[in-house]
Every structure is written in C-alpha cells, then in structure tokens.
Chains A and B, each alone.
Chain A
Amino acid sequence: MKDQQMQATSEAIVRPNPARTTPVVALCGVTKRFPGVIANNDVSVQIWAGEVHVLLGENGAGKSTLIGILSGLQRPDEGHIEIDGKPVEISSPRQALGLGIGTVFQHSMLVPSLSVVDNFTLGGSWWRCPDRTGTAERIRETARQLGLRVDPFALVATLSLGERQQVEILRALMRGSRCLILDEATAMLTPHEAVALGALMRRLIADGLAIVFITHKLNEAVAYGDRISVLRLGKTVGAITPEQLNAATDAENTARIIRLMFGETAARSAHGLARAASDFGPVVLQVEALRTQAGSTPLRDVSLAVRAGEILGIAGIDGNGQKELAEALAGQLACSGGSVKVNGREVGGLSVGGRRAAGLRYVTDDRLGEGTVASFPVAMNLVLKDIGAEPFWQKGLEKSHAIHAQAERHIRDFDIRTPTHHTPVGKLSGGNIQKVLLARELTGAAEVVIFAKPTYGLDVNNIRTTRQRIRDAADAGKAVLLISTDLDELLELADQIAVIDRGALRGCVENDAGARDAIGRLMSAGDDQ
C-alpha cells in the first residue's frame, strides 16, 4: 500500500499550479505557551504554492516552535491550521506527512546506520519486505528530474551534510509533500552547497511547490525568498510581499528586514567600521615553531606574535588546524615542540589551569560541549574554571554568596538574558550561552584571549554584540587571537591577518584595502607544497 502510494507521488511531483486564491497552508492565530514563555503569540502566516516563504527571526523568536506545530511535533494552545482553506488538526508527524507537509529539520532526521533506501522505506508495513530495487529506481529518477545525484545504497553515515539534506528533501517530495519546510537549512552547509540549495528551491517552486525557508542569513533571505515574514518574541512583526520585494533593491530589502527584526537603531549600525589602527604595546603572546602530533590536522611550526591591544586574525578554510591551534595554545592538546610565551614567561609546559592563571583565556566554539555544563546553573558556569579558588571557595567549602554576587554582576554587565542565575545554562539561547562564556573569559586577569569562531551559529544581533566585546577586549589592552572562518568578520575586526593552511601559517598581512585579495592569494597559494 505504502509502495503504491510512493509510486503515485513520485509521478505527481510535476503538477499544475493550483488556484492562487487560497494558501496551501495557513496558520491562523496560533498561540503556544511553554512554562514561563509564550513561544508563539497569535501568529498568522499564509504559505502559498509556487513561493519561497522566508521566516526570519532572532534565536528564540519562535521559529522552531512554529515548525514544530506545522510538522506535528507540538500542538497549538490556541488557533488552528488550515490546509487549502479547510481547518485541520495535526496531532502527529505521520498526520502532517499525510496532509502534505514535509519537514527537513535543522538536525538530520535520517538514521545514520541505515542506507538511503532504507531511510526512504521507514514506515512501511512491519511484516513486509521493503521494495529496495524499486524504491532505489524511483529515488534515482526523482533525483535526476531535480538535477541531483544520490546513491540510494550508500550508508547515510558516509554522506556529507549537504548530501544528507538533499536526501531529506527528496524523501519529503517522494512522500507527496506540497509544502516543504526547510529549517535553518543552510546553517550546516558550505557556501557552495548553500548556493546549490538556493537553486534547487527555485526549481521546486517552479513545479508548484510551496516552500518555507528558515534562515539566519539575510542575504539568503533576499536572494531566494519570494515573501518574507519576520518573527520577534513570538509574534509576527512584519511581512514583505513578493510585490514589495521585487520593487526594491537587495540593499533596501536588507535594511528593511533589519528594521523589522531589531527595530530602527539596529539598521544603522549593522555594519561596523573597521578598527582604527592604534599604537600597540609590547608583545604579550609569543609562539615559536609550535608543533603537534595529535589532532586531525597536526600543526607544523606555527610561529606568531600578538601585541597588547592588537587583534591577530587567523583566516582559512575550516579544518586546516584552527581547532588544533586554539587547543594547543590553551593547553588542551599536547605539543611535540615549540614554545608558547605569555609576557615573556614560558607557559608551554603548564596545564590548562596554569595557563589560565598566567592570563591566557580561550573562548571555545564548542559552547555547550566543552565551554559550559548544560545542566549547571548560570552562576556555576561562570565560575567553572575557578572551582576551588578564593573567594568562591574557602577551605574547600563553596561560598554561594560570592558566586551569586559575581553571577548577578556578570548577568548585568554582559546583558545575559536569563530568568535567574539558577537557570541551567542549557536552557538559554546560543547567543546568551556565548555571553556566559565571554563573561567568564574576559573578566579577571585576562592578558591574552583566544577566540575560536566566536559568532558561529549566532543571530545578527548577538554577532554584533560579540564582535563589540572582542573590540573592547583589544581596546582594553588585551592581546587577541581571533580564529574565524568568516573572512568578513576578520576584515572587520583584525589588525593583522594570517592564513592557516593544513596546519601551517602562510604569511601575514596588514588589514588594509588590499587585504581581501592578499588573503585570497595566500589561501589558494598553498597547493605548490
């Protein structure tokens, strides 16, 4: 029965444009409350066939909840959903699929230990054998129609993230989806894969599909979207129709979206100016011929120097030794040679704690993994690296008074949006977890601060405040090593930029007008070795 259904739907992918008078899916006054928060507050959104409907909003604006409601994971407290103008109740993922709503979640919903085909046939009658050859044939056929290449018998675990996403889109289509939801679909993709996804979306809507596209990246919203809705604190605060979108230039549209997302003031300072060069102090961090054996990309004779008040940027394609460099400096990865000096004092032999005491701080990109303990309260995470130290502990006993007082101070100074300092850090949004990390690493006797991909996965507003913190740290006389894969970020913040390639540094350039080209040349010049 299931197989016949699949057969029918794979042929039905090319279908005539339906009447444009009723939306395919409409959310009517949907409200969803969680303990302590209203995730969605009277949200009404209409999704039309043949359009890419972009849903924008900060972290915690209620996008995920909205997707959860549409895909049957959550049920609205108030309001209802209409499909083709008829009210429906979606109480399970199976029902959402049956109603033609296919969702590609931000985190892959494929079973890694099964092949592509077996992932497609999940959900068939228990006692029957899956028709693997037939399904594989239909996967190939549908993929060909869409201009994709998919090996149906590959194990999902062996596919790249971009390929897994294509598989998920194919699966949603072959199950007869008329409305495809792509939740932060480009967040995990390489730039090249993201462009390919954009092109795929345009081809799909040409066939009459409706697409809901959730993203953080405004340029993608403007480039691929036909209609844009902006969510803020659980409410729809604005929508841009296709007519309006077409009438204005991309820059005007972007400015308009920023105004909707963050209010008037934000739009003006959306792009910070490059730092004005200033006088730097003495060399604080001196690294010479640093080598590692461990790690996926061992470091090869890395030497660098950062002066007080200076930001040294490390550019490069991800996976070229950035993580190893940061961890080797922080003391988390054993070095096989070379020296690391802070203020002229050798710290290469010290442990993580010893280096921290020497003034070396590391803001990790793995915020919930090694940066914080998700189930610990905010206050405890703020003293996580000072456990046992005065004044938070005295003679081995915890002084909760001192810990809480400091937490209150940090929450105020760093604008950490948390209900209380007792709240587990894992319950906060990504941007606020980053603020907890920043508060912990930037205060106290910090001399050198290493940032690893500090704005990765954050929304526009949090990216801006994080960058400002980095600037402030340098202005306060700290030596800053900024490791980032976002070249624009480096060009905005750094004084000097070095390029890392397969574990070795390839030259270092001043951040001036010609920096972008020079870095591009350095990044592509590494092949002759």
Chain B
Amino acid sequence: MSLFTESFITTLFLGAIAAGMPLLLAGLGEQLSEKAGVLNIGLEGMMLAGAYAGFVVAWSTGSMGLGFVGGAAAGALVASLMVLFCVRLGLNQIVIGIALTLLVEGLTALLHYVQFSRSYPRLDGITTWPIWPLSRIPLIGPILFDQNLVVYFGLALVAGFAWIYRMTHLGSALQAAGDKPAALDVAGVDVFRIRSLAVLTTGALAGLGGAFMSVAAAGVFVPFMTHGNGFIAIVLAMLARGRPLWVLGGAFLFGGCLSLTTALQVAGVNVPTDVIQMLPFATVMLVLLIAGRKASLPQALGESFVRGAR
C-alpha cells in the first residue's frame, strides 16, 4: 500500500535504467557478434576493461564524455585480440573468451592498485542532458528524459540495430556470416571482415557499457566491479534470438531486479540484501527454463570459418 510511493517508483526505475544500461549495451553488442557467428565469451572482460579505462580517463581529464570514449576504445582493444585469435587464426572462441576475461580481470585490478593503492577516488557530480520540456512531466520526466547522453544513445541503438538487421545489406551479410559463412564467401563478401567488424563493435559497446557502470552509475572503479554482468548480457543476447527489442526488455527486467535492493530499502522494507542480490541470477535461470528451450542460435555460431573446408 504504502510501498508504491513516488520515491519508491522513481528509485526503482532510475535504478533499473542505471543497472540495465550496461546490460543493454553489452547485450546488443553480443547479439551483433552472435549474429555474425562469433560467440563472444570475452564480453565480461571487455566490459571490465571499459569500466577501468573509462574511469581512469574521466578521472584524469575530468570529462565524462572522454571517459565514455576511452571505455569504448578499451573494449574495442580487447575485442581486437578476439578478432586476431578467433576470427583470423580460427582458435576456439570459448577458450579465448575465458582467457581474455581472466586477463582483463587481473590486469585492471593490478593497474588500479598500482595507481590508487587501496583508495577508491570518486568522480564528481554526474551530468545529465534533460530533454526540455519532456523532462518536466511528473514521474516520467525525471525517469526517462533527464538522463545521461549514453542512455539516449543506447535506446537509439536498439532502433538502429533493428533497422540494420532488417533493412540493409549489412544485416543480410551478418546473418549469412552466422548461418552459412560459406554462402557469404562465394557471394563475394569477405567473411573475416564482416565478423571482425561485428566483434570490434561488440567490444566498443561492451566497453561503453562498462564505462557507464564506473563513470555514470557508480562514479568509482572497484576491481571486478562488472561481477557477472557480461555473462548475463550473453544470456540476454541468446534469449533475444536476434531481436534488439528483446535485449532492451531483458536488460531492464534484470536491471529492475538489481535495483530492487535499493528501492526496497528506500521504502523501508527489511529484506536481507543477499537474497535480493541473488534475484537477477535466479531470474536468468527461470527465464532460461521458460524461454531457453526454443532458443535457436545461428547455425555456424562458434565455428571458425575456413574457405573451402567441408
């Protein structure tokens, strides 16, 4: 009764967006890779690299915008290793993905320790870009239209990807690269190039998602701070079966679960936080149980392409 106050709803939804945004960005990126036939298990590592680099850039330059750019660049840098090992050299995508994640986890923790020792400096106030006059609408305004630029970008990206997949040559080429790379190859398109492009974009998006976590949502970098978000994003992308809108829905469902902790505290309900922190992972399992059965993935997902091989 008294639970659904304005402050509870605002906290819940703002929290859902803050927690869901990294999932959305990384999930859209993973979807792109999977469409092109690369199972990008290194997503967690790319997010973490983005979170670290984004924070360091924003902290040293004082510019949030540059922080986001730095995060995306770091994600793409990690992805370029994935491109080299998995797309070009055809090594096992799962092994390389796990290795990259472990590498980045260790490296960022080390670099952070070297630079900041055991202190965790905070970034100053987070700027938003209100869209006037929509931001003045009660309840909806502050939630949807008084947000960080990255949030608007992420939402536009959903529409952009949906358009690319359905309407452009690139969309067809991506689908072919994931379903039947040999057919794309004999049609005269460079499969390696399509897949490389997809994986690099994935890296940039995951890096941006990570930077959003450290720069915009938390304002601080803590080692291993992405804890599992990259893997949840992989699950999201698999469940969405190529549809960007489903990634959006899934990301904010999980984001909502994550933010329920704070929202309930605001509302004064006393539930152990440990229980609520398990919620997103329990939801993943539940959703997999219900929707995962029919998940159809690209036929050549996880297979490296070799021209002329049978």
Binding site for B on A (CB under 8 A): 68, 71, 73-74, 92-94, 97-98, 103, 105, 108-114, 118-119, 121-130
In the complex, chain A residues whose CB is within 8 Å of the CB of B179 = 111-114
- Alpha-carbon distance A119/B173, docked complex (angstroms): 9
Q: Is the CB of A122 within 8 A of B308?
A: no
Q: Is the CB of A97 within 8 A of B167?
A: no
Chain B interface extent, by class: 20 to 34
Q: Is the CB of B175 within 8 A of A123?
A: no
- Alpha-carbon distance A97/B185, docked complex (angstroms): 11
B177 to chain A, nearest CB (A): 9
Known interface pairs A111-B175, A129-B169; A123-B188 also in contact (CB < 8 Å): yes
Q: Return the chain A residue nearest B180 by Cβ.
A: A111
In the complex, chain A residues whose CB is within 8 Å of the CB of B180 = 109-112
- Alpha-carbon distance A105/B186, docked complex (angstroms): 10
Q: Is the CB of B168 within 8 A of A127?
A: yes
Q: Is the CB of A122 within 8 A of B168?
A: no
Q: Mark B6-32, 1 if CB is under 8 A from A, else 0.
A: 000000000000000000000000000
In the complex, chain B residues whose CB is within 8 Å of the CB of A93 = 185-188
- Alpha-carbon distance A73/B309, docked complex (angstroms): 9
- Alpha-carbon distance A126/B20, docked complex (angstroms): 30
In the complex, chain A residues whose CB is within 8 Å of the CB of B167 = 129-130
Which listed residue (B172, B175, B186) contacts A109, Cβ 8 A? B186
Query: Can you spell out 27 A-B residue pairs with CB atoms less than 8 angstroms apart?
Result: A71-B186, A73-B186, A74-B308, A92-B188, A97-B186, A97-B188, A103-B186, A109-B183, A109-B187, A111-B175, A111-B184, A113-B179, A114-B172, A114-B179, A118-B172, A119-B172, A119-B183, A122-B172, A122-B184, A123-B169, A123-B188, A125-B169, A127-B169, A128-B169, A130-B167, A130-B168, A130-B172
Q: Within 8 Å of chain A (Cβ to Cβ): is B150?
A: no
Chain B 262-310 residues near chain A, CB threshold 8 A: 298-299, 307-308
Known interface pairs A68-B308, A73-B307, A97-B188; A122-B170 also in contact (CB < 8 Å): no
The 7 closest A-B pairs by CB, nearest first: A94-B188, A73-B308, A124-B169, A122-B187, A126-B170, A93-B186, A123-B187
B96 to chain A, nearest CB (A): 22
Q: Within 8 Å of chain A (Cβ to Cβ): is B78?
A: no
Known interface pairs A113-B175, A122-B173; A128-B188 also in contact (CB < 8 Å): no
Q: Within 8 Å of chain A (Cβ to Cβ): is B206?
A: no
Q: Within 8 Å of chain A (Cβ to Cβ): is B79?
A: no
Q: Within 8 Å of chain A (Cβ to Cβ): is B84?
A: no
In the complex, chain B residues whose CB is within 8 Å of the CB of A94 = 188-189
In the complex, chain A residues whose CB is within 8 Å of the CB of B173 = 122-123, 126
Q: Is the CB of B168 within 8 A of A128?
A: yes
- Alpha-carbon distance A105/B185, docked complex (angstroms): 13
In the complex, chain A residues whose CB is within 8 Å of the CB of B170 = 126-127
Q: Return the chain B residue nearest A108 by Cβ.
A: B183
- Alpha-carbon distance A421/B169, docked complex (angstroms): 48
Which listed residue (A73, A110, A129) contacts B183, Cβ 8 A? A110
Q: Return the chain B residue nearest A120 by Cβ.
A: B187
In the complex, chain A residues whose CB is within 8 Å of the CB of B48 = none
- Alpha-carbon distance A114/B183, docked complex (angstroms): 11
B147 to chain A, nearest CB (A): 29
13 additional contacts (CB under 8 A) given A68-B308, A121-B169, A126-B169: A93-B186, A94-B188, A97-B187, A109-B186, A111-B176, A113-B179, A113-B298, A122-B172, A123-B173, A125-B169, A127-B168, A127-B170, A129-B167
- Alpha-carbon distance A277/B23, docked complex (angstroms): 74
Q: Return the chain B residue nearest A103 by Cβ.
A: B186
Q: Within 8 Å of chain A (Cβ to Cβ): is B182?
A: yes
Chain B 135-189 residues near chain A, CB threshold 8 A: 167-170, 172-173, 175-176, 179-180, 182-189
Known interface pairs A71-B186, A109-B186, A123-B188; A114-B169 also in contact (CB < 8 Å): no
- Alpha-carbon distance A68/B310, docked complex (angstroms): 12
B139 to chain A, nearest CB (A): 39
- Alpha-carbon distance A524/B308, docked complex (angstroms): 43
In the complex, chain B residues whose CB is within 8 Å of the CB of A73 = 186, 307-308
B241 to chain A, nearest CB (A): 11
In the complex, chain B residues whose CB is within 8 Å of the CB of A124 = 169
Which listed residue (A98, A111, A112, A126) contacts B168, Cβ 8 A? A126
In the complex, chain A residues whose CB is within 8 Å of the CB of B183 = 108-111, 119, 122
A414 to chain B, nearest CB (A): 25
- Alpha-carbon distance A108/B169, docked complex (angstroms): 21
Q: Return the chain B residue nearest A97 by Cβ.
A: B188
- Alpha-carbon distance A92/B169, docked complex (angstroms): 20
A49 to chain B, nearest CB (A): 23
Q: Return the chain A residue nearest B310 by Cβ.
A: A107
- Alpha-carbon distance A127/B172, docked complex (angstroms): 11
A136 to chain B, nearest CB (A): 14
B176, B184, B187, most chain A CB atoms within 10 A: B187
B72 to chain A, nearest CB (A): 21
In the complex, chain B residues whose CB is within 8 Å of the CB of A129 = 167-169
In the complex, chain A residues whose CB is within 8 Å of the CB of B298 = 113
Q: Return the chain B residue nearest A126 by Cβ.
A: B170
In the complex, chain B residues whose CB is within 8 Å of the CB of A109 = 180, 182-183, 186-187
Q: Return the chain B residue nearest A157 by Cβ.
A: B179
In the complex, chain B residues whose CB is within 8 Å of the CB of A92 = 188
Q: Return the chain A residue nearest B184 by Cβ.
A: A122
- Alpha-carbon distance A152/B165, docked complex (angstroms): 19
Q: Is the CB of B186 within 8 A of A121?
A: no
In the complex, chain B residues whose CB is within 8 Å of the CB of A98 = 188
In the complex, chain B residues whose CB is within 8 Å of the CB of A110 = 180, 183
- Alpha-carbon distance A35/B160, docked complex (angstroms): 48
- Alpha-carbon distance A122/B189, docked complex (angstroms): 8
B192 to chain A, nearest CB (A): 12
In the complex, chain A residues whose CB is within 8 Å of the CB of B175 = 111, 113-114
- Alpha-carbon distance A110/B172, docked complex (angstroms): 12
B100 to chain A, nearest CB (A): 27
In the complex, chain A residues whose CB is within 8 Å of the CB of B189 = 94, 122-123
- Alpha-carbon distance A497/B265, docked complex (angstroms): 80
- Alpha-carbon distance A414/B179, docked complex (angstroms): 39
Q: Is the CB of A121 within 8 A of B172?
A: yes
In the complex, chain B residues whose CB is within 8 Å of the CB of A125 = 169
B188 to chain A, nearest CB (A): 3
- Alpha-carbon distance A221/B233, docked complex (angstroms): 55
- Alpha-carbon distance A205/B185, docked complex (angstroms): 27
- Alpha-carbon distance A129/B307, docked complex (angstroms): 27
Q: Is the CB of B169 within 8 A of A130?
A: yes
A170 to chain B, nearest CB (A): 14
B168 to chain A, nearest CB (A): 5
B158 to chain A, nearest CB (A): 19
In the complex, chain B residues whose CB is within 8 Å of the CB of A111 = 172, 175-176, 179-180, 183-184
A154 to chain B, nearest CB (A): 15
Q: Return the chain A residue nearest B167 by Cβ.
A: A129
- Alpha-carbon distance A73/B184, docked complex (angstroms): 13
In the complex, chain B residues whose CB is within 8 Å of the CB of A126 = 168-170, 173
Q: Is the CB of A122 within 8 A of B176?
A: yes
B208 to chain A, nearest CB (A): 22
In the complex, chain B residues whose CB is within 8 Å of the CB of A103 = 186
